[in-house]
């Protein structure tokens, strides 16, 4: 019997929620904790993420788009179940969170551009004036400010250099371009 490694693919995926769904930082953290648990179950590698007040963006390596959709839907269902029963929430507002169709990325250049786009969202939405001031993004892991343990930096970093420190400097510079 021969062993054949399954080819994995890389996807850009967006979860769109109702207005201010993730405005509370506890909700951002809770959602990321759920997703990181699912990352282990689904055997994903998360290359990049950013959670804003109403959306969550990801670049994920997975076996298939089905794996991404299944894991994302599980995260949505679990998060909304907790969110809707939280006594801090106004009962008049219905919380929604929907999962887009994952878009397959086909080249390292496309992966790098997509990660940069995700990492620049807090700056472009006016949440911060410096990229490394936003804690709900994997950019701070790439910049060396904070280690989100479940973010895989290897593939994107290798686009810039085999030397980790050189890669970090080049990656930070790459992210500064608009």
Q: Give the model confidence (pLDDT) of 59-117 as tens digits.
A: 999 999 999 999 999 999 999 988 888 887 766 567 888 988 999 999 999 999 999 99
Mean pLDDT computed over 2-18? 77
Split at pLDDT 50, 70, 90, the class of 2 is very low
Q: For residue 167, give Cα distances in angstroms to 109, 115, 161.
A: 15, 15, 5
| Pairing of the two strands 103-105 and 45-51 | unpaired
Which residues touch 16 (CB under 8 Å, ≥6 apart)? 54, 55, 97, 98, 100
DSSP H/E element including 97:
strand 97-99
151-165 per-position pLDDT tens digit: 999 889 988 999 999
Output the pTM of the full model: 0.90
Report the C-alpha gap between 50 and 121 in whole angstroms. Answer: 8
Mean pLDDT computed over 163-171? 93
Residue 139 pLDDT > 60: yes
Q: What is the pLDDT of residue 43?
A: 93
Residues of the chain with pLDDT > 70, as a percent, come to 93
Q: Which CATH architecture has domain 9-176?
A: 2-Layer Sandwich (3.30)
Q: What is the pLDDT of residue 91?
A: 61
């Amino acid at each position: 019997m021969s062993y054949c490694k399954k080819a994995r693919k890389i996807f850009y995926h967006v979860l769109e929620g109702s207005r201010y769904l993730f405005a509370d930082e506890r909700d951002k953290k809770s959602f990321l904790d759920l997703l990181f648990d699912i990352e282990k179950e689904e055997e994903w590698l998360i290359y990049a993420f950013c959670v804003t007040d109403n959306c969550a963006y990801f670049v994920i390596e997975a076996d298939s788009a089905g794996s991404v959709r299944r894991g994302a839907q599980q995260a949505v269902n679990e998060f909304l179940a907790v969110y809707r029963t939280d006594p801090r929430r106004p009962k008049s507002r219905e919380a929604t969170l929907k999962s887009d169709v994952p878009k397959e990325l086909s080249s390292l250049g496309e992966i790098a551009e997509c990660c940069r786009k995700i990492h620049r969202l807090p700056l472009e939405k006016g949440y911060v004036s410096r990229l490394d001031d936003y804690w709900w993004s994997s950019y701070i892991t790439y910049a060396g400010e904070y280690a989100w343990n479940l973010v895989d930096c290897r593939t994107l970093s290798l686009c810039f250099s085999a030397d980790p420190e050189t890669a970090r400097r080049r990656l930070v510079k790459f992210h500064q371009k608009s």
